């Protein structure tokens, strides 16, 4: 009783894996899916970190611009100080626009 049947090696390995190796195949698939998810998550994390850094730089730039605008507003908005200095140091007077004649002092 000699069996002269020839089987291909890949078919024998595949049959053995399906009969006796279901757990290792499931674990292999789980490891591959997990590793792909780790790579995808790492890439997304790097992109989000780069976006965050860009936004922090933009925020810093806007903060500096805001501070400069506040300083400019404070410098230009102090009319009472300018008027007081004009009256005290330069002896200037407020002119009423309704007057039609100009008074020139000698």
Q: Residue ranges per domain, the chain? A: 22-90
Q: Indicate yes or no: pTM above 0.75.
A: no
The count of other CB atoms within 10 Å of the CB of residue 8 is 8
The answer for 90, left when phi > 0, alpha when psi is -120 to 50, beta otherwise, is alpha
Gap between the Cα atoms of 74 and 22, Å rounded: 77
pLDDT in tens, the chain (106 residues): 556 677 788 888 888 888 887 888 899 999 999 999 999 999 999 999 999 999 999 999 999 999 999 988 887 777 777 787 888 888 887 777 776 565 556 5
Give the C-alpha separation, 83 to 48, whole Å. 53
């Amino acid at each position: 009783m000699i069996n002269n049947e020839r089987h291909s090696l890949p078919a024998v390995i595949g049959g053995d894996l399906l009969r006796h190796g279901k757990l290792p195949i499931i674990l292999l698939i789980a490891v591959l899916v997990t590793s792909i998810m780790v790579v995808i998550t790492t890439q997304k994390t790097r992109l989000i970190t780069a976006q965050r850094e860009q936004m922090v730089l933009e925020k810093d730039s806007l903060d500096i611009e805001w501070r400069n605008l506040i300083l400019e507003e404070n410098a230009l908005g102090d009319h009472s100080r300018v008027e007081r200095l004009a009256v005290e140091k330069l002896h200037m007077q407020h002119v009423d626009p309704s007057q039609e004649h100009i008074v020139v002092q000698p």
